[in-house]
Amino acid sequence: MQVNLRTNAAYGIVPLAMLGLFAAYPRKWAPAPAAADCGCSAESIAQANPPSKMPADSPPRAHDPSMAKEGKTYYVFTTGPGIAVQTSTDRIHWKPAPRVFTPIPSWTRETITGSNEFYWAPDISYFNHKWHLYYAVSTFGKNRSAIGLATNVTLDSTRPDFKWVDEGPVVQSYPKDNYNAIDPVLALDEHKQPWLAFGSFWGGIQIVRLDEATGKPTEKDLVAPIASRPHTEGQPGAIEAPYIIRHGRDFYLFSSFDFCCRGIRSTYNIRVGRAKSINGPYLDRDGKSMLDGGGTQILASAGRWYGPGGNSVFREGRTDYLVYHAYDGEDNGAPKLRIDALTWDKDGWPHAPGGP
């Protein structure tokens, strides 16, 4: 069973894709030339996302949500200072919980200058008897990035054994690399072997095998590409935010195409491909490889909601839910949590409400 969908019998845990409370913040981006065109400076984000005036029970603000369930409580982790956390018992009404890092791990500031305690796209998973929280440390327009790991035996901050343990960096990228070490997601193959997928722009989505005991690659485990898009004029290879699940005997790679972080001008959309092996090759419904820009679109801007992306998948019972953020056209383009039940057709492809 894929780890982010696993139920832990001891706790009644079902890891899920998560929600967040941040209206606007720098995220990740493309190589420097594309970054200059992204419209995602702190100033432009602030202008696109003024304070919300929506009712208190409207969908919470979220970006790159990853959610888990322990006992009767849902926990949502999202991009933000120290990694933001919210809790709910009904997935409708949310309240803030303690941030993951207070104080922050010193290595993040020392390793990635300018990251400013702001961590991107956390992924929460349970395996090997503890929670694993992977997250990205980076700055806009650069691929000098790192993926960090924190572990905990529980998500319940009221328990005496609650403590986030900083496990340090897992994967790093440097200017010489043709990939960007952000947007991590943990997945298990058919043998329960853990893998980490990640990536944004540059050479696209990558995957690397992890050691089960440490949650990190060994020296023998090499990074390999599993999805990318061509770099052409006006199109800087805009693919990021991978998420892998297993459905039946196949593996499914979800990713976000195009551009986030522009409010209602965001063009994010969610694509998917399928493979027999966790490390590919992933093909879309038309048989095109995701290494060649393939990807079947399952969700794009529609009605009130713009730029859906940054998704994960939550399995509860026999239902799979697509959990993602989208920009609210009725609230100044603020990013909000969205949860849609997926359906699977007779050919084994997922569909989201409002999708093609």
Residue 325 falls within a domain, yes or no? yes
Q: Which of 240, 284, 328, 331 is catalytic?
A: 240
Q: Find out whether 100 and 164 touch, Cβ atoms under 8 Å.
A: yes
**Tens digit of each residue's pLDDT (9 = 90 or more) over 285-315:** 999 999 999 999 999 999 999 999 999 998 8
Question: pLDDT digit string (tens) for 95-130?
Answer: 999 999 999 999 999 999 999 889 999 999 999 999
**55 band by pLDDT with thresholds 50, 70 and 90:** low
- Active site annotation includes 37: no
List the single range of 23-37, 66-80, 143-157 with lowest mean pLDDT.
23-37
Query: What average pLDDT does this structure show over 75-86?
Result: 93
284: in domain: yes
Banded model confidence at residue 53, pLDDT cuts 50, 70, 90: low
Which residues are bridge partners to 258 per DSSP? Answer: none
**What pLDDT does residue 56 have?**
57
Q: Is residue 180 part of a domain?
A: yes
Rounded to two decimals, what is the model's pTM?
0.87
In a domain, 345, yes or no: yes
Mean pLDDT of 13-35: 35
35: confidence class by pLDDT, cuts 50, 70, 90:
very low
- Averaged pLDDT of the chain: 86
Q: What is the domain count for the chain?
A: 1
Q: Within 10 A of 12 (CB to CB), how many other CB atoms are there?
A: 12
CATH code assigned at 193: 2.115.10.20
Structural domain containing residue 132: 3-351
Structure tokens that stand for 273 in this block: 């491909």
- For the question of residue 240 being annotated catalytic, the response is yes
pLDDT over 90 at 42, yes or no:
no
Q: 59: pLDDT confidence band, cut at 50, 70 and 90?
A: confident
pLDDT of residue 234: 79
CB 41 within 8 A of CB 48: no
In a domain, 356, yes or no: no
**Which pLDDT value is given to residue 57?**
62
Mean pLDDT of 22-26: 35
Does residue 200 lie in a domain region? yes
Average pLDDT over residues 324-345: 95
